[in-house]
Structure 1
Amino acid sequence: MDHPLQTSGPVGEVTPDPVTLGIDIGGSHIKAALVAPDGALLTNYERVVTPLGKPPDLIVDTISALIAPLGGFDRVSVGFPGATRGVTVLTAPNLGNDQWHGYKLADRLAARLARPVRLANDATVQGLGAIAGRGLECTITLGTGMGFALFTDGRPAPHLELGQHNAHRKHTYDQYVGHEALNRDGARKWNKHVLRTIDALRVLVNFDLLYIGGGNVTAITFALPADVHLVSNETGITGGVRLWDGVSPRRA
């Protein structure tokens, strides 16, 4: 699969079985694990509370400390909760800090970890770990906010910050089906909001399959339509392997 992604850091000789460090940056937690080339987890998650509102360099420090127990790896994939382009963060609506705008996260991590790094939106990474790769597929993540990604025959479409788009009255989708809405409105009303969101996406996207991930999927109580599937949080880590399709850097 062809990815319009840039790689930060050293890329050495090809190795047949590269180990990927998958990092999932969320509005509540940062998670990391090592992943085999086939997408299988090689380690348990390491997890830490996200230092919201702190400078981006502190996130890099936090990740560096978090992954220390995991062992060696060849390359790094990062899922980020906002819009990214190449090595750079464009928006970080749920991390509480405007300093993220224009921050070259992939470059900073590559310099710190001495490994090549690829960066993408977290819903895109989760989708890559879940999709079948056929037809028009869509992923949403239900966590602090709502992430969104769209795929055509396995290839990511240009990223859309649907979570920041108006959903109902003056509420964005982040505010309509995000974690604060679940706490504010209760599970019953929140589930109705999620159902309405699925209906809206069906009209907007005409998806063949929709995958729902994120930490709040456990709060879903309605019967799922045949073309909607829940996916585990693991895909937010394991999908990072597919950012490297066709690229196999050597372990330093």
Structure 2
Amino acid sequence: MNLLGIDIGRTSIKYGRVRLENGIEVMDFDQIPISQTSRYAGYRDALIHLLRTVPGFRAVGVGFPCVIRQNRVYSRDVDFDGIWSEVQAFLEPSGAPCFALNDADAAGMAEITRPEAGDLRRGATIVLTLGTGIGSAIFLDGKLLPNTELGRIELHGGLAEQYCAASVRTREGLSFEAWAGRLQEYLAEVDELFAPDHLVLGGGISADFEQYRAGLKTHADLRPAHYCNQAGVIGAAMFAAGRLQDGVG
């Protein structure tokens, strides 16, 4: 069974067809940049294009960069709830069900359900996605506390994600060493507030973990995400598969 996983970020949409039987296989993984001048139309048109052109999927999982409650999408800037309604209406004639969740929750789901990651399913695990902002997913013994927003922790009088997200390193031209110093301040706050057993750093920058890990120290076991930039796509597909197994859709 092929599932379409979609991971909506603040500047792009990542997607891929995901097969979950006998291990995880991601096919046709790619991303679409989104214009920042007309974001509603950009996101909507990109999603409809994907749904129209990607072949052979049984269901769709979509990770949104905001809170999801009772199939409603709550966003501070883009009207993602309106876009979600248009996506559901577009798919209705095909009979392919679609399911929404928070994007960082999706990435976390992919990381902790990996068969080899049994230790992440014991105790408290926090997955942080480092991209344009900072997303978070908190798990206790493998069970998710949905819709957390740890990127909005206050740091130096502003939001932590405005100080040490991966996009900040690029925008300000910081070396990995300088950026790791900022990230360390943030991780120390997370460590102090939540005392997790495990901290997983995700997002595309997790592929460069060896270049900045020396500047990071936490009480928690610290590691990069296994699926790196594909975690959100895989987790969205997993969520859709789980909903189908529950008889939804």
**Shared topology, TM-score over 0.5?**
yes
1:118 aligns with 2:99: yes
Which whole-Å deviations, capped at 9, do the CAs of 1:117-172 have from their partners, x for residues lacking one? Answer: 111111110000001433211110111011111011222103222222312x2221
The correspondence for 1:61, drawn from 45, 62, 84, is 45
Decide whether the 8 Å contact of 2:26 with 2:234 is kept in 1: no
1:247 aligns with 2:234: no
Moved over 6 A (4+): none
Which whole-Å deviations, capped at 9, do the CAs of 1:224-252 have from their partners, x for residues lacking one? Answer: 667111111111111123324262499x9
The correspondence for 2:11, drawn from 28, 49, 56, is 28
1:72 aligns with 2:56: yes
Give the CA deviation at 1:108: 2.5
CA distance in 1, matches of 2:62, 2:200: 20
Give ranges in structure 1 of 5+ residues lacking alignment: 1-17, 93-97
TM-score normalised per structure 1: 0.79
Q: Which has the higher strand share?
A: 2
Relative contact order (alpha carbons < 8 A, sep ≥ 6): 1 or 2 greater? 1
Identity %: 28
CA distance in 1, matches of 2:153, 2:73: 19
Decide whether the 8 Å contact of 1:25 with 1:80 is kept in 2: yes
Structure 1's 20 and 99: CA in aligned 2 closer, same or farther, altered over 3 A?
same
Give the CA deviation at 1:56: 2.8
CA distance in 2, matches of 1:100, 1:227: 37
Q: Which has the higher helix share?
A: 2
CA distance in 1, matches of 2:149, 2:188: 18
How many residues end up aligned between the 2 structures? 227
Give the CA deviation at 1:28: 2.4
Structure 1's 78 and 84: CA in aligned 2 closer, same or farther, altered over 3 A?
same
* Residue in structure 1 matched with residue 162 of structure 2 by the alignment: 175
* Residue in structure 2 matched with residue 212 of structure 1 by the alignment: 201
Alignment RMSD: 2.6
The correspondence for 1:229, drawn from 223, 241, 248, is 223
Higher mean C-alpha displacement, 138-147 vs 60-69:
60-69
* Residue in structure 1 matched with residue 179 of structure 2 by the alignment: 190
TM-score normalised per structure 2: 0.80
